[in-house]
Amino acid sequence: MKNGTLRLLLLFVLTLVSLGHAHYSLGKEKVTHLHFFYQENLISNHPSAVLAAKPKDTTVNASNLAPFGAVYVLDTPLTEGQDPNSKVVGKLQGLSVSAGEDKAMVVFIVDFGFTSGEFNGSSISALSRNPILETDRELAIVGGRGKFRMARGFANLHTNYINATSGVVIVEYNVTVFHYE
Ligand SMILES: *[C@@H]1O[C@H](CO)[C@@H](O)[C@H](O)[C@H]1NC(C)=O
Ligand SMILES: *[C@@H]1O[C@H](CO)[C@@H](O)[C@H](O)[C@H]1NC(C)=O
Ligand SMILES: *[C@@H]1O[C@H](CO)[C@@H](O)[C@H](O)[C@H]1NC(C)=O
Ligand SMILES: *[C@@H]1O[C@H](CO)[C@@H](O)[C@H](O)[C@H]1NC(C)=O
């Protein structure tokens, strides 16, 4: 290709790129804090998590719920209070992948969809390690939809209640999200 043609092509691409930017402007950045409780129920007749895959020759049972290689699909209610019967404000949907070879550690690939209040219809996404054996832990928030478009932030988690026999786990979430108005 001649130098002149190359320069023209470059100019064309640059024009396209800058036109693309000119058509979209974000509002003012703001910070939102969210507080809710994750109500996991593994064993009831209406579980919020189902085992979708596991390695051949690996046993999954009450004393070994998340062995390396297990994949759960989650559809878990998020409530306003710690009481499982308190108001549902959204649901978490996605995957929990057991990715710890020598200790229980999962990677969460999940969407938190809100169904009430100011953020009804909007959601945030996490793609993060979730070291479930640690009572306090942090997830990375990597994006969002609706009012949370272009979101990023972090979630502080605290396991409030865990009962391996009944398969009930309640986790408190405080989420800090940076997004645009
Ligand atoms: C659960 O699975 C583990 C690992 O295979 C096994 O050692 C244990 O005996 C099982 N426990 C029950 C209650 O079945
Ligand atoms: C949330 O939004 C949906 C869809 O727009 C609507 O049907 C529902 O009534 C809303 N819920 C609340 C609690 O505002
Ligand atoms: C969430 O924030 C509240 C209020 O500041 C605090 O009492 C609670 O301990 C926090 N929990 C987590 C998991 O960060
Ligand atoms: C755990 O769940 C079992 C079965 O539902 C129940 O019998 C037991 O009391 C629970 N333990 C605690 C500490 O809540």
Express each pLDDT in 126-171 by its tens digit.
Answer: 999 999 999 999 999 999 999 999 999 999 999 999 998 888 999 9
Closest residue to atom 14 of ligand 4, CA basis: 163
166 lines ligand 4 (CB under 6 A): yes
Q: Domain boundaries in the chain?
A: 28-180
Closest residue to atom 4 of ligand 3, CA basis: 174
Which pLDDT value is given to residue 15? 63
HSE of 134, CA atoms in CB hemisphere, 13 A: 12
HSE of 36, CA atoms in CB hemisphere, 13 A: 26
**For residues 92-107, average pLDDT:** 94
Quote the tokens at residue 31: 């910070």
- Identify the CATH number of the domain defined by range 28-180: 2.40.480.10
Partnered with residue 79 across adjacent β-strands are 37, 88
Ligand nearest to the CA of 166: 4
The pTM score is 0.86
